[in-house]
Amino acid sequence: MVGVIAIRPMDPADLPSVLALEQVTFAQPWDEAILASEVVSNNRAYLVADAGGEIVGYGGLLLDADEAHIVTLATAVRRQGLGTRLMLGLVDAAIAYGAEHLTLEVRASNKVAQDLYRKFGMAPVGVRAEYYGDEDAMVMWAHDITGAAYRLLVESIRKGLV
């Protein structure tokens, strides 16, 4: 494990580390200008996973009316709970914003990410053909994220990390 991890809001000073992780994680990485504009946009919420000053993950939301759209999620290490911690932070941010629903697109071949999102109550509802240019995207949603049942789900996930 990477040690003690703090999930915190992304700061513009985090951009070089986030950009480096973006480039090694995604086949079609965002460039610095896109990331810089995303971090300061009013209807966005970006978080980083900070392991003693080293950025080991990040995630972002587009917030629109009653929906929160997860636009990115990346981790430097796999299978150690980091994606789960970031998802908890994104869910908390979505609820704090007032979102009722959570959505995202995920590569059709990325079964590990799909399993993470299913753990958070997200279900596939459709496919966006060639969304990534070279691959289809599965569209996933979780509804009523402020409801009692979803809160219980999130709290059970949170307790499982302790």
pLDDT along the chain (162 residues), means of 10: 81 92 86 87 93 93 95 87 95 96 94 95 93 90 97 95 73
* Sign, CA torsion 21/27/33/34: negative
d(Cα 103, Cα 143) in Å, to the nearest integer?
9
Q: Is residue 34 part of a domain?
A: yes
How many domains, the chain? 1
Structure tokens at 112: 């590990």
Maximum separation of any 2 CA atoms in the chain, in Å? 40
* pLDDT given at position 78: 79
Active site includes 117? yes
Active site includes 105? yes
Query: How does 8-17 read in b/e, with b if 16+ C-beta sit within 10 Å?
Result: eebeeebbeb
> Can you tell me whether residue 89 is helix, strand or coil?
helix
CATH number at 57 reads 3.40.630.30
Q: Among residues 22, 38, 58, 117, which one is catalytic?
A: 117
Instruction: Please give the C-alpha separations between residue 32 and each of 9, 17, 110, 131, 143, in angstroms, as whole numbers.
Output: 18, 11, 25, 21, 32
Q: Is residue 25 part of a domain?
A: yes
Q: Is residue 1 part of a domain?
A: no
* pLDDT given at position 162: 63
Q: Domain residues for 93?
A: 6-161
Q: Among residues 67, 105, 130, 132, which one is catalytic?
A: 105
Hunting for tokens 């703090």 — which residue is that? 6
